[in-house]
Amino acid sequence: MKRLVLIILVLCVSFSLYAQLQVPEHHFATGSGNWGFIGSRLYQNDPGARLAKVNFLVPQSGPMIYEFNVRYEDGIEDGHGGFGLHIFADNVINRASWGSGNSWLLWLNYDENPISPDIPAGFSAQIYRSTSQINMELVESFDLNEYIDFLTWEIWSNPVPVRIWVNGNTGEVRVYDPTDPAFTWFFYFFLPTRGVPLNGNWVSLRTNGLRLSFEMGL
């Protein structure tokens, strides 16, 4: 379970990818929500946006490293909020959508009254497989309420650094401990004998009912 908590930190998003991720504007497009830069930080300023999304042009194949940090700004007062990251997306649209092409979504969620019986009430994490703009399958869901003390203003009011390595050829994912980079946790999106190599041109960052800000580690 500790491994999964750190996987969730991947969802605290804003990133520097060891690929061709570039900023400014001509390399990313707002899909929905209210996104904008103040200095070097990227803000999603609409706490009511349920499908807020921004798409980054990032060619991805083989081993990839994603690095980012996040800071909480507002929006959890209604008892619901979440955010996550689609990686290895093959195509995206610049408007609100449930999925993001063929991609994998890592998601961190807080919901006191979830609609789906597959989502635990309170603090949880999900892994989804997206197959189109309208279709996503819940692969795994994890109850993280034993880590509820992690959701404090003292922690989330400061940027939280994250680093994750993904091998698109094998589906292996390694998450680095943000407090000690000598430690990593790993899992597989798919078994190497059953999956196919991942390729994609986009990373999609999304939020649900939260105001967050992100720092690109470029």
What count of other Cβ atoms lies within 10 Å of the Cβ of residue 149?
8
Q: How many whole angstroms from its chain centre is CA 39?
A: 22
**8, 45 Cβ separation under 8 angstroms:** no
Structure-token pair, residue 203: 């990373």
**51, 208 Cβ separation under 8 angstroms:** yes
**35, 56 Cβ separation under 8 angstroms:** no
Looking at per-residue pLDDT, the higher value among 163 and 17 belongs to 163
Q: What is the rounded radius of gyration, in angstroms, for the C-alpha atoms of the chain?
A: 16
pLDDT of residue 183: 73
pLDDT of residue 6: 38
**Distance set, CA 157 to CA 128, 151, 160 (Å):** 27, 10, 9
What confidence tier does 58 reach under pLDDT thresholds 50, 70, 90?
confident
Superfamily of structural domain 2-215: Exo-inulinase; domain 1 (2.60.120.560)
pLDDT of residue 157: 87
pLDDT of residue 217: 56
Per-residue pLDDT, averaged over 108-125, amounts to 92
Looking at per-residue pLDDT, the higher value among 32 and 10 belongs to 32
0.85 exceeded by pTM: no
User: Is the pLDDT score of 4 beyond 50?
Assistant: no
Sequential DSSP letters for 125-191: EEEEEEESSS-EEEEEEEE-GGGGGG--HHHHTS-EEEEEEEETTTTEEEEEETTEEEEEEEEESS-
Per-residue pLDDT, averaged over 197-210, amounts to 91
Share of the chain above pLDDT 90, in %: 38
pLDDT of residue 114: 93
What confidence tier does 154 reach under pLDDT thresholds 50, 70, 90?
confident
Indicate the residue type of 20: Q
152: exposed, middle or buried (C-beta count within 10 Å: 0-12, 13-18, 19+)?
exposed
pLDDT of residue 142: 85
d(CA 103, CA 199): 9
d(CA 161, CA 47): 22
Q: What are phi and psi for residue 209, nearest 5 degrees?
A: 70, 25
Q: How many whole angstroms from its chain centre is CA 120?
A: 19
Per-residue pLDDT, averaged over 136-160, amounts to 85
pLDDT of residue 194: 62
Per-residue pLDDT, averaged over 74-102, amounts to 91
Average model confidence (pLDDT) for the chain? 81
What confidence tier does 193 reach under pLDDT thresholds 50, 70, 90?
low
User: Is the pLDDT score of 13 beyond 60?
Assistant: no
User: Is the pLDDT score of 9 beyond 50?
Assistant: no
